[in-house]
Amino acid sequence: MEAAGWILLRLGFLPFRFFRQRKVIKMSEEFMNVIRSRCSTRAFTQGMVSEEDLEQIIEAGRTAPIAGADYRMSHMTVLRDPEILAKIREGCMLKRKDGTAVDPMYGAQTIIFLSATGPSEDCIEYCNVACAIENMALTATSLGLGSVYLWGFLKKLRKQPDLIDLLQIPEGYTILSALAVGYSKDPIQPHEPKGRIAVNYV
């Protein structure tokens, strides 16, 4: 009798296990699709990211891994103010080889700056902010939004303290990276990556 009860109990759990496994496989497929869909967006529409989507993206960044869980090492600044955006855009225009001007933020209306204390000798602060940026880029992709890592134009920005002041970054923090987020003019969909990092197995 006891054995029969045990068998019935096990059988009862089988469908549960089957559906759980199916759910896990589906989730991992969806996750891989997000990874395959992420790309650098270099043409944003004027559409504004909703507060709800922005909060999800910010939360993904804020909860990224940080060395030694020392979250005070990093800081995030969300720039949406059109006047400040215009000033920074104007002050940091890049030039193509043919001399034409390029908006370093590609028309994005939301820029998330990542700053950090230091940087220390081993530059771990750069690793911290990169983790936050990738978390946010993937979240943006999952919401159907475009994003692009911004590094190049920060060199120009750092030379203009009057523009940096507009961002009200807390004292002791330096901008290390930024992420532009917004609606992409091109579809966000799974695609073949531009390349792959080489790997060896031992």
Residue placing its CB nearer to ligand FMN in the complex, 65 or 152:
152
Task: Determine, following the binding rule CB under 6 A, whether residue 151 of this chain makes contact with ligand FMN.
Answer: yes
Task: Determine, following the binding rule CB under 6 A, whether residue 196 of this chain makes contact with ligand FMN.
Answer: no
Task: Determine, following the binding rule CB under 6 A, whether residue 77 of this chain makes contact with ligand FMN.
Answer: no
Residue placing its CB nearer to ligand FMN in the complex, 194 or 202:
194
Question: Using CB under 6 A, which of 49, 60, 143, 148 touches ligand FMN?
Answer: 148
Q: Given the rule CB under 6 A, which of 4-12, 13-21, 81-89, 147-155 is the region that contacts ligand FMN?
A: 147-155
41 Cβ partners below 8 Å, 6+ apart? Answer: 106, 108, 146, 147, 148, 180, 182, 184, 185, 186, 188
CA 169 to CA 118: how far, in whole Å? 14
Site for ligand FMN in 26-45 (CB under 6 A): 39-40, 42
Task: Determine, following the binding rule CB under 6 A, whether residue 95 of this chain makes contact with ligand FMN.
Answer: no
Query: What is the residue type of 169?
Result: I
Task: Determine, following the binding rule CB under 6 A, whether residue 149 of this chain makes contact with ligand FMN.
Answer: yes
Residue placing its CB nearer to ligand FMN in the complex, 73 or 148:
148
Give the tokens for residue 128: 């911290």
Q: Closest distance between ligand FMN and the C-beta of residue 148, in Å?
A: 5
119 Cβ partners below 8 Å, 6+ apart? Answer: 125, 126, 174, 176
Instruction: Answer for the pair 107, 146: CB distance below 8 angstroms, yes or no.
Output: no
User: What is the largest distance, in Å, between two alpha-carbon atoms of the chain?
Assistant: 86
Residue placing its CB nearer to ligand FMN in the complex, 40 or 56:
40
Task: Compute the C-alpha angle 171/174/177, nearest 5°.
Answer: 140
Residue placing its CB nearer to ligand FMN in the complex, 95 or 194:
194
Start-to-end C-alpha separation, the chain: 52
Task: Determine, following the binding rule CB under 6 A, whether residue 96 of this chain makes contact with ligand FMN.
Answer: no
Tell me how far CA of residue 88 lies from CA of 79, 91, 142, 161, in angstroms: 10, 5, 28, 11
Residue placing its CB nearer to ligand FMN in the complex, 43 or 166:
43
For binding to ligand FMN (CB under 6 A), which residues are involved? Answer: 39-40, 42, 148-152, 193-194
